[in-house]
Amino acid sequence: MPSTTNASAGSKPRKKKGRRARLIVIVLVLAVIAGIGYGAYWSVDSVRASLPQTTGSIKLDGLDGPVQVKRDGYGIPQVYASSDEDLFMAQGFVQAQDRFYEMDVRRHTTSGRLSEMFGKSQVKTDEFLRTLGWHRVAQKEYDSELSPATKKYLQAYSEGVNAYLAGKSGKAISAEYVALGFENDYKPQKWTPVDSVAWLKAMAWDLRGNMQDEIDRSLMTSRLGPQQIADLYPDYPYDRNKPIVQEGAYNSATGEYDQNATGTSPQSGTTTGGAAGTGLTGGTQAPSSLQSQLGGLSDVLDQIPDSAGLGPNGNGIGSNSWVVSGDHTVSGKPLLANDPHLAPQLPSVWYQMGLHCTSLSAKCQYDVTGYTFAGMPGVVIGHNQDISWGLTNSGVDVTDLYLEKFSGDGYLYDDKTRPFTSRKEVIKVAGGDSKTITVRETNNGPLLSDRNSELVKVGKKATVGSSAPDRGDGYGVALRWTALDPGNTMDAVFEIDKAKNWNEFRDAAKDFQVPSQNLTYADTENNIGYTLPGRIPTRAEGDDGSLPSPGWDAKYRWTGYIKQTELPYEYNPKRGYIVTANQAVVGKDYPYTLTTDWGYGTRSQRISDLIASKIKDGGKVSTDDMRTTQMDNSSEIAKLLVPYLLKIDVQDKDVRQAQQLLENWDYTQNPDSAAAAYFNSVWRNILKLAFGNKLPKELRVEGQCLTVSPVDNTGPADEDRKVRECGERDTDSAQPDGGDRWFQVVRNILKDEKNDWWKAPKSRTDKATSTRDELFGRAMEDARWDLTAKLGKDIDTWSWGRLHKLELKNQTLGTAGPGWLQYVLNRGPWKLGGGEAAVDATGWNAAGGYGVDWVPSMRMVVNLDDLDKSQWINLTGASGHTFSAHYTDQTDKWVKGELLPWAFTKDAVGNTTSDTLVLKP
């Protein structure tokens, strides 16, 4: 069999033919079983063998004392131990019981060893992941950056996982190993502390900021000019959507961020008009060599799995978190809500758990509950006995792409040739021969261009400026990224888990280096707060990180990192609430560039408006108000556009019938709403006609073909040279995606009825458009027939949920396995409400279709007055076992917007306990 136990074991790969034969037999059995009835067992033996023991007792070598694991009716565990080491050892054991297959796949991802499990189809992915070197960096962190206490906890966690694995075959671990042919002879490699640390790299990758925007802006220059690109990356609308931090200011005299300052509110020294940035191209057309290289890079990025389940290559990633002071709540103590928006994954990326010391002391310091990652100790989001916290992605710019000029066996830097740093990586392949690759790095980082031939092609008409070195055989592309520098983020997880107040929380958060996150805070003493930690680079004057930079020029190197004392925060603001939903962190006067690509604040402002309206005239916010706000599905772009759409004189009676759906619509996107279905189709077609059809093929959806003028078009005479070009981008990352950046693009030109963007060429069935209303009318007609094709001619049968469906897929065999296997492993579809940039952010990509691409991956509301009155829900369930009762037992409630009771105190946990397992030394 392929060696998944030890990279140096030297065992020969099992012949693919044998595995395939076994898989065919398994699939045939499954076909028969599936024909009998949904939910039937693969076999009684294989299913029972992998389901966890949840009652009675198990001996666990290495424990100092007995540990109780109490599970409620949803299989959510609460662990009770008398020492920190026992607590985290038990956490590792319990998570492995429920989720080891998921953990195993994750560590094969982070170490670039997916080919060992899934064969040659994953070789390219492994090459890219080995080039990034997540596991290598994690090893350096463990060796030299983490505190002794953190190492001790990581080791204890690993011992717990390995105690679970001891003596087990693949069949006894998870049914997926049976399908892979690993049922009897699979001996998983022991879990290591570095396997846990490396998971943070996957998190950081999926939350890496504006790397895709940096690529897209550069690709646009093949067809769009600087002003057109600026139109598509408009400035953040500070006049309409408030930043997170509104009270306080940066003190230029002390060089620190001063929460107590008065007067000018803190502002951000960023604008989001990316085309005007400096970087390599200085706002002019990017070189054709860059087009080719970045197109190739985008192809590579599309091949990388959603390793953390956090979204399609970083696009659309968002989250909501807000906190309301006790001055404005029914209980008189704060309420804190959080719902991270991530790619739907089965099982959910989150694992709910409580970690409780039977008695708090120096020996046992934790009493914490919340959402964890299977494979990593501690709690990532949740609360302890004193404080609660939530996370949203800050979106700060922590990546830069550098063009590198090769020179002999090295690269050019300040007119001198430097040698590459290089290493060999051996990729083992299940059912095939191993492959050896060479990873090269410059002083800016790993050469991503080595992983794809398109990245090293050179355009013959590159315009990089007179100071650029001769392009010769081509420029390489290197990645500078904060997560590739060893850090100690893992320390922050444990420190936050035991923090007792604002000062301890802030001190702990300083170590949360990557990924940089917005942290909301509340405590039982009626304090609320926000802080932005993270390792955020500073750049040379004039370089805003919005476009690739010349790696050969030292002045484009990072100059350092923003000091933690200079990063913005808020504590007990006078308005009584704080909202973070990926909007700008600060305003215009902040002296550092945090990013050029904030979210545009549609969700955050909607949440703020709902809170403000509730507390107006002394109103109070309840836990249920927080839950209701999480489910708000109002369409802000519909509020803007529908009045214009209703004024269009529609002649076609069928289109007019659809238009009438909008007349009394309240702009809510409920799953049964026909108006929401029609409007979102109109919005999609507006974007396609006004913008999408004018973008280069590298940004358009794969397979969508257009007849266009050549890139080097010089005038009307070239009309005869039009060519057929087909899109190249995956559906979940194509443009225009329809998010709130596009809301702002359309808002900016809406009143300019003859703006050039409203011009669209004729098609086989439609006339050319030259005005806004002509394009809107054509979009309304196209939407009518789009929905007729998808939902039928009778508009009474239309609904948004029929278009906007959630399908939960097992992230390995559920996406690439045979059909019957997918049937057994996957669940759904569910008809959803909500939508792009709504608070209930069930995201969809308007360029690719209506299907759900990311969701609120969990929801929680913490009540700081009575923690046992807090509520939570997960997207799927506690278990990763496909035939477990807890595989997706929370999903139906999640769809309806319901929350489950969240017991915390010992008595409350006891009252909800269904099963108790005792782990004995």
At 279-301, the pLDDT tens digits run: 333 333 444 444 555 555 555 55
Mean pLDDT of 437-455: 83
Interatomic CA distance for residues 823 and 27, integer angstroms: 11
Query: Is a pLDDT exceeding 70 seen at residue 229?
Result: yes
By percentage, how much of the chain surpasses pLDDT 90?
Answer: 67
Interatomic CA distance for residues 300 and 285, integer angstroms: 23
Q: Beta strands 267-268 and 367-372: pairing type? A: unpaired
Q: Which two tokens stand for residue 564?
A: 């933690």
Q: What is the DSSP code (8-state) at residue 275?
A: G
Interatomic CA distance for residues 543 and 556, integer angstroms: 7
Per-residue pLDDT band at 85 (split at 50, 70, 90): very high
Per-residue pLDDT band at 258 (split at 50, 70, 90): confident
Q: Name the least confident of 252-256, 406-410, 428-432.
A: 252-256
Interatomic CA distance for residues 835 and 229, integer angstroms: 26
Interatomic CA distance for residues 557 and 504, integer angstroms: 34
Angle between helices 148-165 and 489-497 (to 10 degrees): 90
**Long-range contacts made by residues 492-498, C-beta under 8 angstroms, separation at least 24?**
492/533, 493/376, 493/377, 493/378, 493/379, 493/380, 494/149, 494/150, 494/153, 494/377, 494/378, 496/389, 497/355, 497/366, 497/368, 497/378, 497/379, 497/384, 498/365, 498/366, 498/368, 498/384
E-strand stretches of 581-728: 587-590, 705-708, 723-726
Q: What is the DSSP code (8-state) at residue 112?
A: T
Q: Name the least confident of 234-248, 360-374, 445-459, 818-832.
A: 445-459
Q: Decide: 446 and 440 in contact? Cβ < 8 Å.
A: yes
Query: How many angstroms separate the Cα of 291 from the Cα of each of 85, 294, 725, 733?
Result: 53, 5, 15, 17
Which one has a higher pLDDT value, 210 or 148? Answer: 148
Q: Beta strands 399-407 and 549-550: pairing type? A: parallel
Reference 812, options 116, 89, 3, 50; nearest CA is 116
Q: Decide: 847 and 735 in contact? Cβ < 8 Å.
A: yes
Query: Is a pLDDT exceeding 60 seen at residue 269?
Result: no
**pLDDT number for residue 409:** 86
Q: Which two tokens stand for residue 62?
A: 């290495």
Which one has a higher pLDDT value, 685 or 248? Answer: 685
Q: Beta strands 445-446 and 435-442: pairing type? A: antiparallel
Q: What residue has token string 């008809």? A: 831
**pLDDT number for residue 25:** 36
Query: How many angstroms separate the Cα of 586 from the Cα of each of 236, 508, 563?
Result: 11, 22, 16
Mean pLDDT of 116-133: 92
* H or E stretch at 780: helix 772-791
Interatomic CA distance for residues 737 and 731, integer angstroms: 9
**Long-range contacts made by residues 148-153, C-beta under 8 angstroms, separation at least 24?**
149/494, 150/488, 150/490, 150/491, 150/494, 151/193, 152/84, 152/85, 153/84, 153/85, 153/88, 153/377, 153/378, 153/494
At 572-592, the pLDDT tens digits run: 999 999 999 999 999 988 999
At 380-425, the pLDDT tens digits run: 999 999 999 999 999 898 988 888 988 888 999 999 999 999 999 9
Interatomic CA distance for residues 10 and 436, integer angstroms: 15
**pLDDT number for residue 270:** 37
Q: Decide: 522 and 545 in contact? Cβ < 8 Å.
A: no
At 520-545, the pLDDT tens digits run: 999 999 999 999 999 999 988 767 77
Q: Which two tokens stand for residue 761?
A: 């060429």
Q: Name the least confident of 104-108, 715-719, 812-816.
A: 715-719
Which one has a higher pLDDT value, 912 or 453? Answer: 912
**pLDDT number for residue 287:** 44
Q: What is the DSSP code (8-state) at residue 810?
A: B
Interatomic CA distance for residues 270 and 592, integer angstroms: 8
**Long-range contacts made by residues 238-242, C-beta under 8 angstroms, separation at least 24?**
238/584, 238/587, 238/588, 240/601, 240/605, 241/583, 241/584, 241/600, 241/601, 241/602, 241/604, 241/605, 242/583, 242/601, 242/604, 242/605, 242/608
**How many helices (H) and strands (E) would you count in the chain?**
26, 36
Mean pLDDT of 370-378: 97
Q: Which two tokens stand for residue 91?
A: 């956490």
Query: Is a pLDDT exceeding 90 seen at residue 645?
Result: yes
**pLDDT number for residue 53:** 96
Q: What residue has token string 């997918």? A: 822
Interatomic CA distance for residues 634 and 173, integer angstroms: 44
Interatomic CA distance for residues 371 and 354, integer angstroms: 9
Query: Is a pLDDT exceeding 70 seen at residue 471?
Result: no
**pLDDT number for residue 771:** 98
Interatomic CA distance for residues 773 and 759, integer angstroms: 11
Query: Is a pLDDT exceeding 90 seen at residue 819?
Result: no
Mean pLDDT of 463-492: 79
Query: How many angstroms separate the Cα of 494 from the Cα of each of 110, 497, 508, 534, 860?
Result: 22, 5, 8, 16, 21
Q: Decide: 244 and 580 in contact? Cβ < 8 Å.
A: yes
**pLDDT number for residue 732:** 86
Q: Name the least confident of 61-65, 82-86, 116-120, 662-666.
A: 116-120
Mean pLDDT of 703-709: 86
| Phi, psi (degrees; rounded to nearest 5) at 555 | -70, -10
Query: Is a pLDDT exceeding 80 seen at residue 8?
Result: no
Query: Is a pLDDT exceeding 50 seen at residue 707?
Result: yes
Query: Is a pLDDT exceeding 50 seen at residue 894?
Result: yes
Interatomic CA distance for residues 578 and 325, integer angstroms: 9
Which stretches of 279-418 are DSSP H helices?
288-303
Radius of gyration of the chain (CA): 27
By percentage, how much of the chain surpasses pLDDT 70?
Answer: 84
Mean pLDDT of 550-556: 90
Peptide bond into 591 cis (omega under 30): no
Query: Is a pLDDT exceeding 80 seen at residue 822?
Result: yes
Per-residue pLDDT band at 268 (split at 50, 70, 90): very low
Strand, helix or coil at 639? helix
Reference 78, options 435, 366, 320; nearest CA is 366
Q: Share the mean pLDDT of the chain.
A: 86
Interatomic CA distance for residues 849 and 833, integer angstroms: 15
Q: Which two tokens stand for residue 881?
A: 């076992």
Reference 335, options 858, 867, 838; nearest CA is 867
Q: Which two tokens stand for residue 163?
A: 């105690």
Interatomic CA distance for residues 655 and 780, integer angstroms: 7
Which value, to the nearest 10 degrees, does the dihedral of the CA atoms of residues 788, 632, 396, 864 take? -160
Strand, helix or coil at 96? helix
Mean pLDDT of 797-815: 93
Mean pLDDT of 94-98: 98
At 835-890, the pLDDT tens digits run: 999 999 999 999 999 999 999 999 999 999 999 999 999 999 999 999 999 999 99
